[in-house]
Amino acid sequence: MDAATIRKMIVQAADLAERHDIADLMDMTADGFSASPGDHDARSVRGILFVAFKHYGSFTIRYPRPSVEVDPRAGKAMAAVYFMIVSRNRPMPDFKGLYENPQQWLEQAGEKTDLYQLKLELVGSKRDWRVKKAELAPFKGLGF
Rounded Cα distance, 84 and 32, in Å: 27
- Output the pTM of the full model: 0.88
CB atoms under 10 Å from CB of 50, counted, come to: 12
Higher-pLDDT residue of 26 and 89 is 26
Q: Is residue 63 classed as helix, strand or coil in its secondary structure? A: coil
Half-sphere exposure of 114 (CA within 13 A, CB side): 5
128 DSSP β-pair partners = 125
Residue 93 has pLDDT above 80, yes or no: no
pLDDT in tens, 51-85: 999 988 999 999 999 999 999 889 999 999 999 98
Q: Where are the domains of the chain?
A: 2-138
Does 2-138 carry CATH code 3.40.50.1100? no
